[in-house]
Structures are given as structure tokens and as C-alpha cells.
Amino acid sequence: MIRIFSSLGRDLGIDIGTVNTHIHVQGRGVVLSEPSLVATDTKQEGIVAVGADAERLLLRTPDMLDEMRPLRDGFIVDYRVMLTMLRHFMNKASRSVGRTRVIMAVPCGITDVEKRAMTDAIIQAGAREAYLLEAPIAAALGCHLPVFEACGSMAVDIGGGTTDIGVMSLGGKVIAHSARIGGHDFNESILQYIKNTFSVMVAVETVEAIKLELGTALPPQEEMELSFLGRDIANGLMKRIIIRKSEVYQVMQETLQRIVDEIKSVVEQTPPELAADIMERGMILTGATALMEGLGQRLSEELGIPVQVPPEPGFAVAVGLGQAGKEFARMERFIIASKNRKGRA
């Protein structure tokens, strides 16, 4: 059983993702939104800058610095760097970190070792108390789904590295599933396609721009194209390439289908009475990948479930963590790990 400690400080809701970190402060809203990125000095192996500062420096002086993302697919890959980044963000978001209760979103189904690492990091970063909540539960709270009522609610959060799917009812989770597939997989497919079709190498920023400009989950109604520069694999010279929206749509099919299949398998495992509620009331789709053109409609058509995308899907989890702070007395069954400075529950 998870112990709920008493708290005096302000709540921080931290959505620390593979690509971005968002922090919600009780009473102030989402106060921080920065890339989950660290720039390290190649010679000294020291950390030079964190978050948005690191992104700026890496763009200006790419040869003198190394880029590090301390989380991959939502999981910690370098504890020391992750801790530095977390401490930096927490101190930026709050002037009294030592009095805060942190509620953090994590992918569904993380192991006990990963839970321990996350709660340890939060306390080491200076917080008074640490609590973990699975991302789709936070997303559902952020979108005001009736998760405490006797009906089924469903939320799907698609970020850069993971798709997290949750079914909730009566203040507890019924199913929580995480698949290591997300926005990054679309980028990978586009990158491979460009390499194989045009025999050029392109910058990751170019691939991201192609996805944001031309990416669509539905067959394009009208053709569009984008021109960009790539480096010819054969002779090393820069070459201008034109890619069409219909090509990008085709390239994205495999990842789209994998996401559909992951959600379908959760719907199939959902108890019939809750599945009926979800078919009627719909599910919510969050995470910044939810901004992709036509994704909500595509999922709705494939799953036969109404899909709603909130106005700012990338912030829904952070907002939900703030809501979890407000509803804290009712959160016991949702909280998957906790720790305070004296120890863990």
C-alpha cells in the first residue's frame, strides 16, 4: 500500500518526457516547458547547459558540445545527467523546492527499480515528497474525465518515445499499458525513406520540419510539397530534394498501424461494461503527437470510438498532475510509488 504523507509545500507536477519536460505549479499553471536536453562539454565531460539553454547552445556551437537526452522512451538512460536536469528544472519552476510535494508522470508499467530511481531522484533534487502517477491517468485528470465515477474512462498519451494507454474506473486503473512507439518512430521512417529514395543524408531538424509540415494520418485531400537540402551520399555535395505530402503519408503508415494495434489490444482487454462506456463517451488523445493532422479522426475510424483531442494536448499530463494535487486525498489507488526524506512507503 502507498502511504500518503501530509504536505505543507506547494505541489509541483512534473511531466518529464523523452523530448520535453513540462512543470505545473499549483495555483500558477504550467510554468516551465523545455526540451529534456543537456549539453555537455566534449573535453571536460561536464554539463554546460540544460533545457532550452542547451538547445540554443547546441544550435550555435554544435562542434564544441555533445547533446544528451537523459531519458529514452520515457526511461532513465543516465541517472546523473537526469538528476542534474531535474534539479535545474525544479529550481527554475519553484523558489522553495525544499517544501514541495512533487507528483511526477511516468510511463505505464515501469519496473520497481525504475520507480525507485525516479523517486530517489526527486528527493535528491530537493523535494520534500515524491509521488509517481502513470501518464494516461494524469492525462485523464487533466481533461476532466470522470475517473472517480462508476464508469469507464480511457486516455491515450502519444509522446516522442512512448504511447501510454490507460483505462480507469472508480478511482483506480483497470488497464495501463505502455508501448515503446511514438513521434520519434515517424521521424525514423521519414529519415530512412529519404536516405533510400534520394540517396541523401539530412539533419534531424529537417526530418522534424517535414513531419510537422506534411505529416498526416489521413490520405491528403490536396497535394503539398516541401523542398529541402540533403548531403548526397555518393559525392558529399549538397543536393536539393522535393518531398510530397502523399509520400510522407505513405511512409508514416507502418507506425500509425502499430499505434492503432496497441490501442486496439487494450480495448479488447477492457471489461465489456467499461468498454461500452468508452464506445459511448469516447477516449481522449494527448501528448504532442496528438497534434498530427488527422490523427484523432484516423484513430476514431479504426477503433470505432469517438476521440477527443484537448486544445493543448502536450500540456494535458502536466495539467492533470496539478489536478492530482488538488484531488490528493482520492489519489491513493492511482499512486504507484512514493517517498519522502525519511524513506519510502
Ligand X SMILES: Nc1ncnc2c1ncn2[C@@H]1O[C@H](COP(=O)(O)OP(=O)(O)OP(=O)(O)O)[C@@H](O)[C@H]1O
Give the nearer residue to ligand X in terms of CB position, either 132 or 274.
132
Give the nearer residue to ligand X in terms of CB position, either 151 or 285.
285
If binding is defined by CB under 6 A, does position 126 make contact with ligand X?
A: no
What is the distance, to the nearest Å, from the Cα of residue 151 to the centroid of all Cα atoms in its chain? 26
> Could you say which of 51, 136, 161, 296 contacts ligand X (CB under 6 A)?
161
**Which region holds residue 314: left if phi is over 0, alpha if psi is between -120 and 50, else beta?**
alpha
If binding is defined by CB under 6 A, does position 292 make contact with ligand X?
A: yes
If binding is defined by CB under 6 A, does position 255 make contact with ligand X?
A: no
Question: Whole-number minimum distance, CB 50 to ligand X, in Å?
Answer: 15
- Specify whether the CB–CB gap between 298 and 82 falls below 8 A: no
Kindly give, in sequence order, each residue whose CB lies less than 8 Å from that of residue 104, ignoring residues fewer than 6 positions away: 13, 14, 15, 16, 118, 122, 130, 131, 132, 133, 321
User: Could you give the CA distance from residue 241 to residue 233 in angstroms, rounded to a whole number?
Assistant: 13
| Helix (H/G/I), strand (E/B), else coil: 226 | strand
Find the angle CA(247)-CA(253)-CA(258) to the nearest 5 degrees: 160
Give the nearer residue to ligand X in terms of CB position, either 161 or 320.
161
If binding is defined by CB under 6 A, does position 69 make contact with ligand X?
A: no
> Could you say which of 289, 323, 338, 340 contacts ligand X (CB under 6 A)?
289
Question: Whole-number minimum distance, CB 63 to ligand X, in Å?
Answer: 25
- Specify whether the CB–CB gap between 9 and 25 falls below 8 A: no
Q: Is 160 annotated as a binding residue?
A: yes
Site for ligand X in 302-321 (CB under 6 A): 314
Kindly give, in sequence order, each residue whose CB lies less than 8 Å from that of residue 114, ignoring residues fewer than 6 positions away: 75, 76, 106
Q: Is 211 annotated as a binding residue?
A: yes
> Could you say which of 10, 14, 17, 267 contacts ligand X (CB under 6 A)?
17
> Could you say which of 152, 159, 320, 322 contacts ligand X (CB under 6 A)?
159
HSE-up of residue 76 (Cα within 13 Å, Cβ side): 22
Q: Is 162 annotated as a binding residue?
A: yes
| Helix (H/G/I), strand (E/B), else coil: 123 | helix
If binding is defined by CB under 6 A, does position 287 make contact with ligand X?
A: yes
Give the nearer residue to ligand X in terms of CB position, either 39 or 156.
156
If binding is defined by CB under 6 A, does position 13 make contact with ligand X?
A: no
Cell of 106: 511516468
CB count in 10 Å sphere of residue 315: 20
Site for ligand X in 40-59 (CB under 6 A): none
Q: Is 302 annotated as a binding residue?
A: no
Give the nearer residue to ligand X in terms of CB position, either 114 or 232.
114
Give the CA dihedral 331, 334, 339, 340, nearest 10 degrees.
-10
If binding is defined by CB under 6 A, does position 166 make contact with ligand X?
A: no
Q: Binding site for ATP: residue ranges?
A: 160-162, 208-211
> Which residues are at the interface with ligand X (CB under 6 A)?
17-20, 36, 74, 159-162, 182-184, 208, 211-212, 215, 287-289, 291-292, 314
Q: Binding site: residue ranges?
A: 160-162, 208-211
